[in-house]
Amino acid sequence: MICAAVLAAGLGVRMHRRDLPKQFLPLGGKPIIIHTLEQFYAHPRVGRVLVVAPETWKPYTEDLLAGYDSMGKEILVISGGSNKSESIGVAVECIEARWGIGERDILIAHDAIRPFVTRRIIDDNIDAAEAHGAANTAMRTNDAILVSEDGLRLSDVPDHSRMHAEQTPQTYNLRALKEALSWAAENGRALRGESELPRLFVQSGHEMRLVRGEHFNMKIINPYDLEVANALLRERGGT
Amino acid sequence: MINRVYRLVDTKRIEPVMREIRDDEGDVLVRPEHMSICAADRRYYFGRRKQEILKKKLPMALIHEATGTVLHDRAGRYAPGAKVVLVPLVEKEKMPFVKGNYNPANPFLSSGHDGFMRDAVAAPHERLVPIGESASVAYVFTEIVSVALNAIGAFERARATEASVLGVWGDGGMGYVTALTLKCLYPEAKIFVFGKTARKLQKFSFADGTFFIDDIPRDTKIDHGFECAGGAGSEAAIAQIAERVAPQGLILLFGVSEDPVAIPTRTVLEKGLTLIGNSRSDADDFASAARLIRENAVCGKYLRMLISETIEVKTEDDIAYAFEQDALNDFKTVIKWAI
């Protein structure tokens, strides 16, 4: 079974809209999260969909989802996780508790605020996770990366040719992910940062393949992003 | 649902645009799976249409020959995963006595309206033809077979003389499909194919005879002729058919010519010939074509041979590669849509 986890636990601080988390803001004719979910609803290889929402917004998320067609997919809203890595951990616990984890089961975790994910990206993620155990979506960076320890002075300039910007989905064989999470717990490693999970996964001895993303698979995190996303969808009509 | 439409914006330049599929756009959401490049797509892609036409029609997604997989059917008639052929004719209006494909009010996708190069297509049931779960890739040619059937329907309605020897001019994809469809529908008739390229003519192994257009035996006659040459070759093909066809024969025209071509009216008048124009097809022709592919073993078997090359498309660069390769291929280039 391939399960999608749409990660919607953010509260939209950078969007300056504390009254409504960014994943619920309208984009074109629907909330952002609905556009994102529809890409997974419509994917024939995805069997069920989990939405990881903030605890306080769980009832709202359930009400919102009930108003849209889930195209026959089984969908469940759960709460938890203060960052992406923790949310994935919460999704794993939920899957194990409810349905158990089979040897070939896959979890494809995606940011709710990346509604422009494509069928090809999802397919490549699933294919890579099935063949190699895990996949992460990335693009080569156009800009050089500068490292600064204090935000004031340049500390390092990593080799640009090795730098990739992380997008989502992140996709895992669930058994391998469970092993990696156990390894992290045994070694006192917490899922502190957004990208901590891929790091721990690789450090625990597992392989993670990179899948090419798209520049337009953007994350809508601030008002400018939302304006760009709306501009991308501006054109309507057709046959 | 957010959908990417891969539009030709200028000669040899395809760019994706985002578009939202609205709930009222169609009952069935279909993911295109296999596509076939048509000569019309190629003319747009390489800018071989008149500038004023390109200005009027672009940007536009190409491709009107495609099969797909149903993702979701709001009405529940199709299960997810069902295979279908996509019909590019949008029958908005009906005109008395006029077939839908000749009604200028009816849009045709990939001619002024976006074709099937999209993530997903929302279509009503009447623009889908079911083809069964284990559908062969040959169904990607349902559209081109339906065009042949549309013409053969017109041929039957107009025919007043026997149809023992049928001649097809043109050794490309349209010629192949027309000759093959005639072979399936008129198994007793002799099907002769007239072309100019030896390696292409070799592929018409099901035909009863193949001839080079510059070396046709003097005594070769036909009852009716099907012109599938197109372009500048249309003129010579029409002249040859008029010369070889029996009195009161029919000349079915398929070939698109960008510029006007001359018609040998003296011969047409003397023999009482009828010229019939043919273009596109309607949903009924599609259903008949899918049935022919399914039920006629000869049709299904030889249609698969029409594929020159299958190219998996995962990026916009792959689309460009597919069109570049198509220009080199003798017959049809099939795209496996994985973008």
Contacts of A42 in chain B (CB under 8 A): 1, 29, 31, 71-72, 120
Q: Which residue has the higher pLDDT, B117 or A239?
A: B117
- Residue B93 CB partners (closer than 8 Å, separation 6+): B103, B105, B106
Cα A2 from Cα A21, distance rounded (Å): 27
Chain B nearest-CA residue for A119: B339
Residue A7 confidence (pLDDT): 95
Tens of pLDDT along A136-181?
Answer: 999 999 889 999 999 999 999 999 999 999 999 999 999 999 999 9
Q: Kindly provide the residue ranges of all beta strands, DSSP E only, lying in chain B, ordered along the sequence.
A: 2-10, 13-20, 28-36, 60-61, 65-73, 83-86, 108-109, 112-113, 121-123, 128-130, 165-169, 190-195, 209-212, 224-227, 250-253, 274-277, 307-313, 332-337
DSSP states of A158-216: --GGG-EEEEEEEEEEHHHHHHHHHHHHHTT----STTHHHHHHHHTT---EEEE--TT
Contacts of A28 in chain B (CB under 8 A): 2, 20
With cut-offs at 50, 70 and 90, classify the pLDDT of residue A82.
confident
- Mean pLDDT score of chain A, rounded to an integer? 92
Domains, chain A, in order of start with CATH, read: 2-232 (3.90.550.10)
Residue B224 confidence (pLDDT): 98
Q: Which of A35, A124, A238 sits opposite B114 (nearest CB)?
A: A238
Q: Which CATH architecture has domain B2-135+307-337?
A: Alpha-Beta Complex (3.90)
Q: Which of B18, B81, B339 sits opposite A44 (nearest CB)?
A: B81
A116 touches chain B (CB under 8 A): yes
Cα B21 from Cα A130, distance rounded (Å): 31
- Mean pLDDT score of chain B, rounded to an integer? 96
- CATH 3.90.180.10 region(s) of chain B? 2-135+307-337
Res. A93: pLDDT tops 60: yes
Full-model pTM: 0.90
For the domain covering B146-277, report its CATH number. 3.40.50.720
Q: Answer yes or no: are the C-beta atoms of A120 and B338 closer than 8 Å.
A: yes
Res. A237: pLDDT tops 60: no
Task: Say whether B113 and A39 touch across the interface (CB within 8 A).
Answer: no
For residue A237, give the nearest of B65, B22, B326, B165 by alpha carbon.
B22
Cα B335 from Cα B290, distance rounded (Å): 19
Residue B249 confidence (pLDDT): 98
With cut-offs at 50, 70 and 90, classify the pLDDT of residue A17.
low
Exposed e or buried b per residue across A167-184, where buried means at least 16 C-beta atoms within 10 angstroms of its C-beta: bbbbbbbbebbbbbbebb
| 113-172 of B, contacting A, C-beta below 8 A | 113-114, 119-120
Q: Which residue has the higher pLDDT, A82 or B182?
A: B182
- CB count within 10 Å of CB A60 equals 15
Residue B232 confidence (pLDDT): 85
Res. B33: pLDDT tops 60: yes
- CATH 3.40.50.720 region(s) of chain B? 146-277
- Residue B26 CB partners (closer than 8 Å, separation 6+): B121, B122, B123, B124, B127
Res. B213: pLDDT tops 80: yes
With cut-offs at 50, 70 and 90, classify the pLDDT of residue A84.
confident
Q: How far is CA A137 from CA A109, A218, A226, in A?
A: 11, 12, 21
Task: Say whether B31 and A42 touch across the interface (CB within 8 A).
Answer: yes
Tens of pLDDT along B60-87?
Answer: 999 999 999 999 999 999 999 999 999 9
- Residue B41 CB partners (closer than 8 Å, separation 6+): B62, B63, B64, B110, B115, B323
Tens of pLDDT along B255-306?
Answer: 998 889 999 999 999 999 999 999 999 999 999 999 999 999 999 899 999 9
> How far away is chain A from the Cα of B44, in angstroms, using its nearest Cα?
19
Residue A235 confidence (pLDDT): 63
Cα B117 from Cα B307, distance rounded (Å): 19
Interface predicted TM-score of the whole assembly (ipTM), two decimals = 0.84
For residue B115, give the nearest of B149, B77, B74, B64 by alpha carbon.
B64
With cut-offs at 50, 70 and 90, classify the pLDDT of residue A193.
confident
